[in-house]
Amino acid sequence: MNYLILIRHGQSTWNLEKRFTGWVDVDLTKNGKSEAKKAGQLIKNEKINIDLYYTSFQLRAKNTLKIIQNELKDNKDVKNAWELNERHYGALTGLSKDKMKIKLGEDKIYQFRRSWDLKPDPLDKKNPYHPLNIETYKEISKDKIPDTESLKDTYERVIKFYKDEIENKNNKNILISAHGNSLRALCKYLFNLDNNEISKLEIPTGNPLLIKLENNKISNCKYLDNERAKDLLVF
């Protein structure tokens, strides 16, 4: 038996401003830091020793994990993986969700946010928000850096990493601090959700999802903050 804890980063500045963030590096709000602190306290209450920590290349996920580790008084090394990054929103990156709803219609924006294989137009490589122009990604091979992604694209990179690096670490308690769409992708795999079900799954910020595993099969799961729990569609 072992545990897998998934946590979406606390509220970010662009979450608050309702902007499409994707691969752009933005930090946590004051509320986001409070969410991360509470997450750390909730995890601590479970008295689970975390063996391995993973997060993305992105500041909001990394800082969420730092706050959690501080609450746990645990300074173990963290594995950073760009494969756990948020979905790349292409030409929508940096734009206001509310303004784009007016321009394109609510149905179209919902499709971009929740559909399985629809992707926005690619982001111009000269755009300052393109990962090619962000220092964080200088060490990643250019052929691996996307211009835009669907959830399907995100799923493929997240699940390959999970299978290669995490899934077979039997009897290890693992915590992953990542993003709404990278965690939706992972939940699709873990809970065997179909393409329609995954469109309904919402991952709350800063609320740890505790998954109990028996031989890599889920035996139980729950959000640790009951007041902010979302429907898991399963269990």
Q: Count of CB atoms within 10 A of residue 163's CB?
A: 11
Alpha carbon of 222 to those of 150, 207, 233: distances in Å?
A: 27, 10, 12
Rounded Cα distance, 231 and 203, in Å: 9
Annotated active-site residue in 9, 88, 130, 179: 9
9 is catalytic: yes
Q: Per this entry, what is the length of the chain? A: 235
Q: Which of 57, 81, 89 has the alpha carbon at shortest distance from 166? A: 81
For 42-72, give the DSSP string: HHHHTT----EEEE-SSHHHHHHHHHHHHHH
219 phi, psi to nearest 5 deg? -105, -20
Annotated active-site residue in 83, 86, 88, 130: 86
Rounded Cα distance, 67 and 209, in Å: 17
State the amino acid at position 218 in one-letter form: I
Q: Which of 15, 187, 24, 184 has the alpha carbon at shortest distance from 114? A: 184
Question: 177 and 217 in contact (C-beta within 8 Å)?
Answer: no
86 is catalytic: yes
Q: Which residues form the catalytic set?
A: 9, 86
